[in-house]
């Protein structure tokens, strides 16, 4: 295959035959019927997963419900992190991690290139963190989906014609349990747990329950599932928010006295951060399944989940630029009493305890605290879905699906910024090896400066609403041809809406008076991090909410930050199963038409958006081949052309200046992200419940999204004509990802076994897009690509007792851009474990732990000598009882 050949595609991801690989994207009736799966024990679940992987016509990984039940998996992403080729992140962007896996990516690519479906259909979800709300990502927040939902998860590492388009790197399908899949007429399952979070020193309750009924004829069933899971978070850290070079504008007198400091890098805002959150995930699901007769059946499924995420984030920052510049007065500033330089960086700096003689320090605030309360923040996800199956004849079968899904993300920010009076301060850097030593002599008390305004504030109220309505029909025909025994075909239509509303808060003048500050004055708890500032003052979240509710109003829109996007996608496919002697598989093509209408806000006092419309027609061919070299050795090959669509935030959030013909923000003319993929793999099932496997893959992405400079045409309101603008925005470029996945699973006998996997991924931008980091800085790394990641699990079980220990590691990766600087997440490894004891056949005691090694999350800019953040969330211990009857 030539590297520049456009769509030859292959997509190996044929859904697993047999037991219940559900739903509308699986066109054959055998894939539509979910049969009973009875799995007891880790080894039995392992056998089920490996058998499904082995029998699949494509490259897949499978996780069963038992896998989840034996590990401290509190979201689906926790389970997926142990799968080769899968990477997880504990945050949706550059906000740092919060101790719960939230985003999933495949093959070392950004998470928005992987499509997540639930029972074969798309699902909308929101975000509670404001930067993720406004960025408008397409990736699903896995924090919304508790692990109790899982019947099975299938990771499709390649594509095929009957899979929904949208996963350039692959698809993840989460299957829930179905009423008729249970053995008994009536089943009850549930758990009651307590969780202890070391960071917050708090204990919280978690509850889940499932009830299932089906009639004796096994043709009607009803399943009801509910959950309510609370967790109190406290993340303490240190953040470096502003790296810059020392210039005469920043430090005029220091440079005059010590010219060697000019041009050296210095951390101008070094903060001690405290993030606190009460997080409660609650919701439920109902499923009704009915077989009308032997030829027709249907399923109605409804789901709702909401994550309440009230939080308050404080950051006590040492701000040396204030003293160095005398509050930007232009009349000089404080000359540090000592400093050190290493290479091109100021590695330590100390300011005198008292204001130097002859200098008025009343205007200075060498330390400042930002406190942001987000009361009422939440995200939710819901859907209603109707599936049906009809056997028209012995050779012709149809399935259908229609439904709607909605997700909401909401955050209200009350920001209070207070500058302290001049005091002695010092900073000593240790690179990424350890947090910096920071001292502020008056940090423990609220002591604002007097010669200039001490107060600054801001507020915003943002809501993102995501909705998709979809419908499709799939068919399968038993053909008379030996080489193509079954022909699959289908059509799908979907309408997707994404709206971002941004209300700008107005703070009443009285809110900035000292007498009206928030009343809940308190101090930071002791930080688990070494060196950092300890015991600084702050305000409580409740008092911040009271202050904001009193003095902040939201009566105007920030229209230039808002957008409305309407997207229509229609698709049709044909795919044939292949029987070519020793080779089996499938070959097909999917045609996709995407119509996108983008309304980007403009800097006006009324909603007068800039509108752009584009239509894209794409063919996505695929071929998957599999052969059994021996009874125990399977060799696979796949090629595919796949498609993902740009994030909504990359399309929207446009800001245009009609006078200068310039703009920034979203680029509504972004093309879909197209990728040509090749996978080759081999699997050796050398004994029962054991596997040695390897997979090699290559992705050539012809329209990857990066950020840089471009030109685009928009309607200019000032001249009443379409004109060309110089844009600083998202744009398409080229990229490539290639990698190797290794997997070794073995049942050692006598209850013991282990699972080890390793993934190498090399991803880079291949074209130097104008003004991009790749062109200007030579930084061509792709977001989310860890070169090395691996997992190692060992387990033991008998009739009464089971235990499992797991270690997961991923190397450093580019996490995104923040304040015009790249942020890399450093290497991180986590340890989790579970112990279960069966009191009876139906009652089990459980003790589980996450992050037992108390990992330190570290991030840095382009160099590890310039850290961006250190965070600790602490260990999490879960203890409880599970029951079934």
Q: Could you report the per-residue pLDDT of 387-416, keeping only the tens digit for each? A: 999 999 999 999 999 999 999 999 999 999
Q: Which two tokens stand for residue 66?
A: 């038992």
Q: In which element (H, E) is residue 360 found? A: none
Q: For position 71, what pLDDT does the model report? A: 52
Average pLDDT over residues 533-542: 95
Q: Which residue has the tokens 């902040």?
A: 552
pLDDT of residue 777: 79
Of 673-687, 759-773, 817-831, the least confident? 817-831
Name which of 16-20, 75-79, 182-186 the model is least confident about.
16-20
Contact 729, 746 (CB under 8 A): no
767: region left, alpha or beta (phi > 0 left; psi from -120 to 50 alpha) = beta
The number of helix segments (H) and strand segments (E) in the chain equals 10, 43
Mean pLDDT along residues 566-580: 97
Between 102 and 399, residue with greater pLDDT: 399
Average pLDDT over residues 736-755: 95
Evaluate if residue 90 carries a pLDDT over 90: no
- Tell me the two tokens of residue 849: 């732990």
- Concatenating the DSSP letter of every residue in 384-410 gives EEEEEEEE-SSSEEEEEEEEEEEEEEE
Using DSSP, state whether 782 is helix, strand or coil.
Answer: coil
Structure tokens at 170: 């692959």
More confident residue, 73 or 131: 131
Average pLDDT over residues 138-166: 89
**452-469 confidence digits (pLDDT tens):** 999 999 999 999 999 999
Residues 6+ apart with CB under 8 A from 757: 82, 83, 84, 741, 742, 743, 744, 790, 791
pLDDT class of 268 with cuts at 50, 70, 90: very high
pLDDT mean over 721-740: 88
Return the biggest CA–CA distance within the chain.
98
Give the pLDDT confidence score for residue 92 in this predicted structure: 64
Q: What is the reported pLDDT for 606?
A: 83
Which carries the bigger pLDDT value, residue 255 or residue 17?
Answer: 255
CA neighbor of 67 nearest in space, from 40, 107, 88: 40
**Run of H or E residues at 825:** strand 821-825
The residue-averaged pLDDT of 124-148 equals 86
| Phi, psi (degrees; rounded to nearest 5) at 162 | -95, 10
| Bridge partner residues of 578 (DSSP) | 585
pLDDT in tens, 595-643: 999 998 776 678 888 889 999 999 999 999 999 999 999 999 999 999 9
- pLDDT tens figures, 223-241: 999 999 999 999 999 999 9
- What pLDDT was estimated at residue 68? 53
Q: What is the pTM of this model?
A: 0.89
- Which band of pLDDT confidence, cut at 50, 70 and 90, is reported for residue 477? very high
Confidence bin at 274 (pLDDT 50/70/90): very high
| Residues 219, 209 contacting (CB under 8 angstroms) | no
Residue 199 has a pLDDT of 94
pLDDT > 50? residue 48: yes
pLDDT in tens, 284-308: 999 999 999 999 999 999 999 999 9
pLDDT(5) > 90: no
Whether the pLDDT of residue 93 is over 70: the answer is: no
pLDDT at res. 470: 98
Q: Token pair of 616, please?
A: 């894209």
Residue 317 confidence (pLDDT) above 60: yes
Between these two residues, 449 and 68, which has the higher pLDDT value? 449
Query: What is the dihedral sign for C-alpha 623, 627, 632, 633?
Result: negative
Residue 487 and residue 495 in contact, taking contact as beta carbons nearer than 8 Å: no
Q: How confident is the model at residue 857 (pLDDT cuts 50, 70, 90)?
A: very high
Residues 10 and 586: beta-carbon distance below 8 Å? no
pLDDT-derived band at 8 (thresholds 50, 70, 90) equals: very low
Q: Can you tell me the distance from the alpha carbon of 717 to that of 369, in angstroms, rounded to the nearest whole number? A: 41
Ramachandran class of 283: left when φ > 0, alpha when ψ lies in -120 to 50, beta otherwise: left
Q: Residue 484 pLDDT > 80, yes or no?
A: yes
The contacts of residue 293 (CB under 8 Å, 6+ apart) are none
- Alpha helices (H) in 6-96, listed in sequence order: 29-32, 42-55, 65-69, 76-80
Higher pLDDT, 59 or 29: 59
Whole-number Å distance between alpha carbons of 85 and 785: 11
Question: Average model confidence (pLDDT) for the chain?
Answer: 89
Helix/strand/coil for 344 = coil
Alpha-carbon span 313 to 234, nearest angstrom: 10
Secondary structure (3-state) at 183? coil
Residue 202 has pLDDT above 80, yes or no: yes
Q: How far apart are CA 83 and CA 106, in angstroms?
A: 10
Query: For 580, which DSSP code?
Result: E
**Phi-psi sector, 376: left (phi>0), alpha (psi -120 to 50), beta:** left
Mean pLDDT of 131-137: 84
> Tens digit of pLDDT for each residue in 176-193?
999 999 999 999 999 999
Q: CA-to-CA distance for 224 and 622, rounded, in angstroms?
A: 39
In three-state secondary structure terms, 27 is coil
> DSSP readout, 128-180?
SSHHHHHHT--S--GGGS-GGGEEEEEEESS--TTSPS--SSEEEEEEEP-GG
Pick from 681, 782, 792, 824: which is nearest to 740 by CA? 681
CA distances from 229 to 152, 195, 198, 372, 438 (A): 21, 9, 17, 25, 37
DSSP code for 826 = P
641: CB partners within 8 A, 6+ apart: 6, 7, 8, 9, 619, 620, 621, 622, 674, 675, 676, 677
Task: Say if residue 33's pLDDT is above 80.
Answer: no
Residue 644 carries which DSSP code? E
At 793 the pLDDT is 92
Task: Give yes or no for residue 485 having a pLDDT over 60.
Answer: yes
Q: What percent of the chain has pLDDT over 90?
A: 71
User: What is the SS3 assignment for 465-507?
Assistant: EEEEEEEEEEEEEECCCCCCCEEEEEEEEEEEEEEEEEEEEEE
Measuring CA to CA, which residue among 465, 445, 466, 446 is closest to residue 454? 446
CA distances for 523 relative to 315, 444, 874, angstroms: 12, 7, 20
Is residue 171 over pLDDT 60? yes
Stretch 505-526: mean pLDDT: 96
């Amino acid at each position: 295959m030539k590297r520049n050949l456009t769509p030859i595609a292959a997509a190996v991801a044929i859904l697993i035959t047999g037991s219940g690989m559900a739903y509308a994207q699986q066109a054959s009736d055998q894939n539509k019927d979910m049969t009973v799966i009875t799995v007891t024990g880790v080894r039995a679940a392992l056998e089920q997963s490996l058998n499904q992987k082995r029998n699949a016509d494509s490259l897949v990984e499978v996780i069963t419900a038992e896998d989840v039940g034996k590990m401290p998996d509190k979201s689906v992403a926790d389970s997926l992190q142990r799968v080769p080729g899968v990477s997880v992140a504990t945050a949706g962007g550059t906000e740092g991690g919060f101790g719960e896996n939230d985003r999933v990516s495949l093959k070392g690519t950004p998470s928005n290139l992987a499509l997540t479906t639930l029972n074969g259909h798309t699902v909308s979800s929101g975000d509670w963190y404001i930067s993720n709300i406004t960025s408008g990502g397409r990736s699903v927040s896995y924090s919304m989906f508790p692990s109790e939902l899982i019947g099975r998860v299938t990771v499709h590492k390649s594509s095929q014609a009957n899979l929904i388009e949208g996963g350039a790197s692959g698809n993840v399908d989460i299957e829930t349990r179905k009423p008729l899949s249970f053995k008994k007429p009536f089943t009850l399952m549930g758990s009651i747990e307590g969780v202890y979070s070391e960071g917050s020193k708090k204990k919280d309750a978690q509850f889940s329950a499932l009830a299932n009924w089906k009639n004796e004829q096994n043709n009607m069933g009803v399943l009801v599932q509910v959950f309510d899971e609370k967790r109190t978070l406290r993340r303490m850290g240190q953040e470096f928010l502003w790296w810059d070079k020392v210039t005469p504008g920043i430090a005029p007198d220091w440079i005059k006295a010590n010219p060697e400091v000019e041009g050296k890098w210095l951390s101008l805002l070094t903060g001690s951060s405290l993030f606190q959150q009460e997080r409660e995930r609650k919701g439920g699901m109902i499923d009704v399944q009915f077989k009308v007769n032997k030829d027709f059946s249907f399923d109605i499924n409804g789901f709702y989940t909401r994550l309440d995420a009230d939080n308050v984030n404080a950051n006590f920052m040492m701000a040396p630029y204030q003293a160095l510049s005398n509050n930007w007065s232009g009349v000089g500033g404080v000359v540090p009493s000592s400093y050190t330089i290493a290479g091109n960086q100021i590695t330590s700096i100390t300011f005198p305890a008292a204001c130097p003689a002859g200098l008025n320090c009343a205007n200075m605030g060498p330390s400042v605290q930002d406190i942001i309360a987000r009361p009422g923040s939440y995200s939710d996800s819901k859907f209603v879905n109707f599936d049906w199956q009809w056997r028209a004849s012995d050779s012709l079968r149809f399935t259908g699906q229609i439904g709607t899904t909605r997700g909401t993300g909401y955050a209200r920010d009350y920001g209070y910024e207070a500058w302290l009076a001049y005091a002695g301060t010092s900073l000593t850097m240790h690179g990424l090896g350890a947090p910096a030593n920071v001292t502020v002599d008056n940090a423990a008390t609220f002591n604002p400066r007097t010669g200039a305004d001490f107060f600054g504030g801001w507020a915003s109220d943002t809501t993102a609403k995501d909705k998709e309505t979809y419908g499709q029909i799939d068919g399968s025909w038993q053909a008379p041809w030996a080489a193509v025994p079954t022909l699959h075909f289908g059509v799908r239509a979907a309408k997707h809406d994404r709206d971002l509303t941004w209300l700008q808060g107005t703070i009443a003048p009285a809110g900035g008076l000292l007498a009206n500050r928030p009343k809940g004055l308190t101090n930071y708890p002791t930080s688990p991090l070494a060196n950092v500032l300890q015991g600084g003052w702050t305000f409580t979240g409740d008092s911040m909410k009271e202050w904001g509710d009193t003095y902040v109003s939201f009566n105007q829109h920030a229209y230039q930050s808002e957008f409305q996007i309407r997207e229509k996608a229609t698709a049709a496919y044909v795919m044939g199963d292949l029987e070519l002697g020793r080779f089996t598989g499938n070959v097909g093509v999917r045609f996709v038409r995407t119509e996108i209408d983008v309304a980007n806000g403009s800097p006006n006092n009324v909603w007068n958006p800039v509108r752009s419309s584009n239509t894209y027609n794409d063919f996505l061919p695929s071929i998957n081949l599999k052969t059994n070299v021996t009874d125990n050795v399977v060799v696979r090959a796949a090629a595919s052309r796949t498609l993902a669509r740009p994030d909504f935030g990359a399309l929207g959030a446009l800001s245009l200046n009609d006078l200068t013909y310039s703009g920034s923000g979203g680029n509504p003319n972004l093309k879909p992200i197209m990728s040509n993929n090749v996978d080759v793999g081999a699997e050796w099932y050398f004994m029962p419940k054991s596997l040695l496997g390897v997979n090699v893959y290559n992705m050539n992405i012809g329209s990857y999204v990066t950020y840089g400079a471009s030109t685009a045409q928009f309607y200019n309101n000032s001249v009443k004509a379409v004109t060309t603008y110089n844009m600083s925005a998202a744009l398409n470029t080229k990229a490539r990802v290639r990698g190797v996945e290794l997997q070794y699973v073995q049942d050692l006998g006598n209850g013991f076994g282990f699972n080890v996997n390793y993934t190498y991924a090399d991803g880079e931008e291949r074209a130097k897009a104008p003004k991009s980091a790749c062109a200007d800085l030579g930084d061509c790394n792709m977001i989310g690509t860890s070169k090395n990641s691996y997992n190692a699990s060992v387990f033991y079980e008998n009739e009464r007792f089971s235990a499992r220990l797991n270690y997961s590691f991923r190397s450093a990766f580019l996490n995104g851009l923040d304040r015009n600087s790249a942020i890399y997440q450093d290497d991180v490894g986590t340890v989790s474990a579970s112990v279960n004891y069966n009191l009876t056949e139906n009652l089990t005691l459980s003790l589980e732990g996450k992050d037992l090694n108390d990992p330190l999350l570290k991030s840095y800019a382009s160099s590890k000598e310039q850290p961006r953040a250190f965070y600790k969330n602490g260990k999490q211990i879960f203890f409880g009882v599970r029951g079934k009857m």
